[in-house]
Amino acid sequence: MNEPITLIEAIKHFSNPDVCLDFVVKLRWPDGVACPTCGSTDVRFIPTRRIWECKTEHAKKQFSVKVGTIFEDSPIGLDKWLAAIWMIANAKNGVSSYEIARNLGVTQKTAWFMLHRIRLAMGNDDNGKLSGTVEADETYIGGKARNMHKAKREAIVKGRGGVGKVVVMGLLERGRGKVKTKIIADTSRKTIPDAVRQSVKEGSNLLTDALYSYNDLDREYVHEAIDHAVAYVKGHVHTNGIENFWSLLKRAIRGTYVNIEPAHLFRYLDEETFRFNTHKTDDADRFQGVVSGITGKRLTYNELIGGTTQA
């Protein structure tokens, strides 16, 4: 069978454990299987257990394809992992843990944990800065952090917008249509410029609303602002692109995830940012993009939990 291009085809294709193993191995180790402990390629495969053994003498000589990935220590088979990745990567408005649980035959708790690990793989490790013409805007997500310590809850946002909400900075590079997002403490004249400098190349054309906090960037960028109290578009000066991203993000949050705790918001941002930045690619390529990001990342359940609503 050729590589799958739909969810139904993917489920059928990856129902064979050997196909699953071969697929992940080729993406993870395109130049040959390497020991995740020492990096040696002098390894032997043990087919009866579907694991490898490194011939170099050291601890943890035996390893599976899951070791050193988001799958590590998971009893869930690769067939279900790959189906879940396909679903979340290609769901326009995201997919809830309840839906994953129903479709894969796992508990909702397991599905919730799986989805957060997949979001970890969706996280963008690219530290390259945006350039050219860049739209900048900020938005507010969520309500009260019910299970967060009072001191942290009060410190999470102090600035324009609703009290108790999380401030998210968004930047969109026109042309490429690439978005970067980041949770910030507030919308102050220190925080906003610092967030822009970290992600936008100096000298770029920066388009913002009339928030005063952007004014200190005038010397470093070609800064043009639009006052939304007067108009939303003035020629090329507008922030419609990043505002479109906000609408997609909030649609997923309100319609699919319903209730997101602030402690986990950054993972949902990674998910929606990945989906937005790959919207011009087909489902198969988007799926492979997520699988390509599984290595070198791990999230344990103890790291994840902390009084949260599971959605």
Question: What confidence score (pLDDT) does residue 172 get?
Answer: 98
Question: What confidence score (pLDDT) does residue 124 get?
Answer: 76
Question: What confidence score (pLDDT) does residue 2 get?
Answer: 77
Question: What confidence score (pLDDT) does residue 311 get?
Answer: 54
| Structural tokens at position 293 | 């990001």
Look at the block and give the residue holding tokens 């087909």: 282
Question: What confidence score (pLDDT) does residue 195 get?
Answer: 97
Residues of the chain with pLDDT under 70: 1, 127, 143-164, 306-311
Q: Are 288 and 85 in contact (CB under 8 A)?
A: no
Question: Could you tell me the domains of the chain?
Answer: 7-125+296-304 (no CATH), 133-260 (3.30.420.10)
In degrees, rounded to 5, the angle at the alpha carbon of residue 246 between the alpha carbons of residues 240 and 247 is 90
DSSP string, 119-174: HHHHS----PPB-SEEEEEEEEE----TTS-HHHHHHS--SSS-TTPEEEEEEEET
Question: What confidence score (pLDDT) does residue 120 get?
Answer: 96
Residue 196: alpha-carbon gap to chain centroid: 20
Tens of pLDDT, residues 143-165: 544 334 444 444 433 334 555 68
Query: Cα(243)–Cα(172) distance, rounded to whole angstroms?
Result: 10
Nearest Cα to 85, choosing from 271, 304, 305?
Answer: 271
DSSP state of 275: H
User: Residue 194 region, left (φ>0) first, then alpha (ψ -120 to 50), else beta?
Assistant: alpha
Average pLDDT, the chain: 90
Query: Cα(143)–Cα(146) distance, rounded to whole angstroms?
Result: 9
Residue 294's contacts (CB-CB under 8 Å, 6 or more residues apart) are 24, 28, 69, 70, 71, 121
Query: Cα(21)–Cα(18) distance, rounded to whole angstroms?
Result: 5
Question: What confidence score (pLDDT) does residue 211 get?
Answer: 94
| Cβ atoms within 10 Å, residue 238 | 18
Query: Cα(261)–Cα(147) distance, rounded to whole angstroms?
Result: 8
Query: Cα(198)–Cα(123) distance, rounded to whole angstroms?
Result: 17
Tens of pLDDT, residues 205-255: 999 999 999 999 999 999 999 988 788 888 899 999 999 999 999 999 988
3-class DSSP state of 185: coil
